[in-house]
Amino acid sequence: MSPASQVDAWLQRLASERQASAHTVDAYRRDLAKLLRFMEAQGVATFDALDPNRMRAFIATEHRAGLAAKSLQRLLSSCRSLFRQLIREGALAHDPMAGVRGPKVRRKLPQVLDVDEAGALVETDSGGKLAVRDRAMLELFYSSGLRLSELVNLRWIDLDLDGGEVRVLGKGSKTRVVPVGRPAITALRALGAAEGMPPDSPIFRGRGGAPINPRTVQLRMNKLALGLPKHVHPHLLRHTFASHMLESSGDLRAVQELLGHADIATTQIYTHLDFQHLAKVYDAAHPRAKRKP
């Protein structure tokens, strides 16, 4: 089997057996296409002919072409995943990635809204026939820390307004149940009263009753946040939810569960945000913390 055929088989397995999202499969496909082009340029006909030195040369080539450190790390991860599968199948006798390390990625802290900014955003009255939908959408984002893909795919049957819970289908087709706050429940009841709540109907509908397009949500949020000094997007409210929850509770594990993170290391970035907040309070309040201009 050719390397290209082996890659295709791996991608099909990702989609069917591991239920990876189309976005994830496309990312793997783009990364592995780079590897296949490198092999062709180097005259390497099989994955068995690859070794750590050649893989380092591959990474160096992509780095010189301008690929950022974060993208290089993802490229390495894609290659490792493919090689591990081929080794399990007996199609590869050794690991070409053994000892290969990518550049360190400087992790960028996500921007968040403070409590007043978040309150001003979710309470924005957009006016017109979309006002009820917009309010419910913003309240649910901030109340439950949902991803954009999770919010647009919600149906009324997923929501328990009396119990204050919503069942969410997250990454990797993993289901979690998260609380819904009182203002969000009120806004959702208003939306249901205005549009009806057939159990299998999307909560947030687009044209023809289909789930609202993610791009539509992004555009609405940009319009509603014109008065705020920060670039507002759906994931910003998820970051804000996580930061405010951690700031108030200090319970990292609980925030991990609420966000649906598989690895707590992903959630730990919010501990840095929390420390930044504490440092600002300290700098502003402690007489010995005043820095000279």
**Would you say residue 219 has pLDDT above 50?**
yes
Residue with tokens 């591990």: 84
Spatial contact of 233 and 224, defined as CB atoms under 8 Å apart: no
Q: In terms of pLDDT, which residue wins out, 17 or 198?
A: 198
Give the model confidence (pLDDT) of 255-265 as tens digits: 888 888 888 77
Which positions are annotated as active-site residues? Answer: 147, 171, 235, 238, 261, 270
Burial class, 78, CB count within 10 angstroms (exposed 0-12 / middle 13-18 / buried 19+): buried
pLDDT at 156: 96
Using 50, 70 and 90 to split pLDDT, how confident is the model at 292? very low
At 194-215, the pLDDT tens digits run: 998 899 999 999 888 899 999 9
Q: What is the pLDDT of residue 47?
A: 94
Residues 6+ apart with CB under 8 A from 16: none
Q: What is the pLDDT of residue 199?
A: 92
- Beta bridge pairs of residue 175: 169
Q: Taking residues 217-237, what's their average pLDDT?
A: 86
CA distances from residue 272 to 116, 138, 222, 254, 276 in whole angstroms, order as listed: 21, 25, 27, 17, 6
Q: pLDDT band at 288, cuts 50/70/90?
A: low
Q: How confident is the model at residue 34 (pLDDT cuts 50, 70, 90)?
A: very high
Q: Which domains does the chain have, with CATH numbers?
A: 3-89 (1.10.150.130), 115-282 (1.10.443.10)
Nearest to 166 by CA among 184, 190, 191, 193: 184
Q: Where are the beta strands (DSSP E) in the chain?
A: 159-160, 165-169, 175-179
Percent over 70 (pLDDT), the chain:
90
Mean pLDDT, residues 57-70 taken together: 88
Whether the pTM exceeds 0.75: the reply is: no
pLDDT (mean) for 154-180: 92
Q: How confident is residue 293, by pLDDT bands cut at 50, 70 and 90?
A: very low
The predicted-structure confidence for 44-56, as pLDDT tens digits, reads as follows 999 999 999 999 9
Classify residue 76 by burial, with Cβ atoms within 10 Å: 0-12, 13-18, 19+.
buried
Highest mean pLDDT among 105-114, 250-259, 275-284 belongs to: 250-259
Asked if residue 98 lies in contact with residue 217, where contact means CB atoms within 8 angstroms, the answer is no
